Amino acid sequence: MNNERPSYLREIFETKEIELNMGPQHPATHGVYRAILTLDGERIVGLNSVIGYLHRGIEKWAEYRTYKQATPIFDRLDYLSAVINCHGYVGAVEKLLGVEIPKKAEYIRVICDELQRLASHLIWLGTHALDIGAMSVLFYAIREREAVVDLLEAQLGQRLLNNAYPIGGVRFDFPKGWVEVCRKFLKVFKGKIDDYEELLTGNRIWRQRTIGVGYISREDAIAWGLSGPTLRASNVFFDVRKSIPYSAYPDFDFEIPLGQNGDVYDRYLCRIKEMRQSVRIIEQALDGMPEGELKAKVSPIIRPPVGEAYFTVEGSKGQLGFYIISDGKEKPYRVHIKSPSFINLQGLDVMSRHQLIADMVALIGSIDIVLGEVDR
């Protein structure tokens, strides 16, 4: 994988490095991410990331809201997986309060989280394929995401930014007939994943474009703090659902797909396999749905004990953490968000060394950043 250009070429031809400004209005940067690339020909020799175009001060804002009022703000972090963001924040407050959540509520949360993960991965799949030039996959992925979003809408009342869970449980049981529709969808969806794989996994061009591109070693991946499929593709077993179990995940039997080589192709495979595992989890949760309360008893005005809590969930991009400091009043004293996209983007520097511009596009797609989460 030595992509370095031989130095004698430089000596023969007097070459000069040029700087290319990629973004913030570039179609392949998935938002307002700006990369200042130093190029030798088409080869990247330096990368300077500029972020912050979408900084909305969510952490500051949350300090001025009560615990309940602050919940919907965090949907705006990673706007493609709002449900999981909400779970992270609500879970952190519950951890601080020491509330026991009813089993049924946990199951419903797991189902909604995994549906949201499917939706987020589908958007990723479509845009990633579009970046590499496979145009049709986007439309197939959007078609299936539409069904997922419809399911979420029926359960949570909103499609995109669904202020999903209250502190202490869930708001509603599944509407009538929802479970059957969901089962039917999952059955169809398994075949659809095969379709995507048929279009991409064995495709020669796809393999040539992704195998060996954006390599990061196991040691580097851990040291740079990557998380989610980006980390697991480098053969590191770290999934919050298994490593720091939360909610009802210990009840289910599922696997964490690992990659071997840590390149763009392995990240793609990891996410595809993760979708299959999500389907498995949802099916198990639907089968084993317990009876019981939907919400634990939480006082209407939430005043957690003075102290701090760090609660992490497995977001669709990686480990999403909420660090909440309470001073015993009704507003959070400080909320800090560990956003996986932010940290994963940092690793882009290592991955993009000596790659081509076209690889850069594949790379940004493969780490699946959402700028709302990077800039907060």
Which of positions 155-214 make contact with other proteins (CB under 8 A)?
199-200, 203, 205-206, 208-209
- What the block records as the tokens of 173 is 């049981």
| Among the listed residues 18, 77, 45, 66, the one whose alpha carbon sits nearest the alpha carbon of residue 317 | 77
Q: Does 118 bind other proteins (CB under 8 A)?
A: no
- Smallest CA-to-CA distance from 230 within 60, 119, 351, 74 is with 351
Least distance (Å) from other proteins to the CB of residue 190? 18
CB of 28 to other proteins, least distance (A): 4
87-106: contacts with other proteins (CB under 8 A) = 95-96, 98
Least Å distance, CB 72 to other proteins, is 17
10 Å CB burial of residue 148 (0-12, 13-18, 19+) is: buried
Q: How far apart are CA 148 and CA 370, in angstroms?
A: 19
In the set 223, 260, 290, 292, which binds other proteins (CB under 8 A)? 223
Q: Which stretch binds other proteins (CB under 8 A): 9-17, 75-83, 291-299, 341-349?
A: 341-349
Distance of alpha carbon 259 from alpha carbon 267, whole angstroms: 7
Site for other proteins in 13-72 (CB under 8 A): 18, 20-21, 27-28, 42, 51-52, 55, 57, 59-61, 64
Buried b (16+ CB within 10 A) or exposed e, 112-131: bbbbbbbbbbbbbbbbbbbb
Strands 34-40, 319-326: pairing is unpaired
Q: Which of 184, 243, 260, 301 binds other proteins (CB under 8 A)?
A: 243
Sketch the per residue contact string, 291 through 310, with other proteins: x for CB under 8 A, - otherwise: -------------xxxxxxx
* Sequence-distant (≥ 6) Cβ neighbours of residue 109 within 8 angstroms: 87, 101, 165, 170, 247, 248
Q: Nearer Cβ to other proteins, position 22 or 111?
A: 22
Name which of 115 and 348 has its Cβ closer to other proteins: 348
- Binding segment for other proteins among 131-139, 154-162, 171-179, 248-256 (CB under 8 A)? 131-139
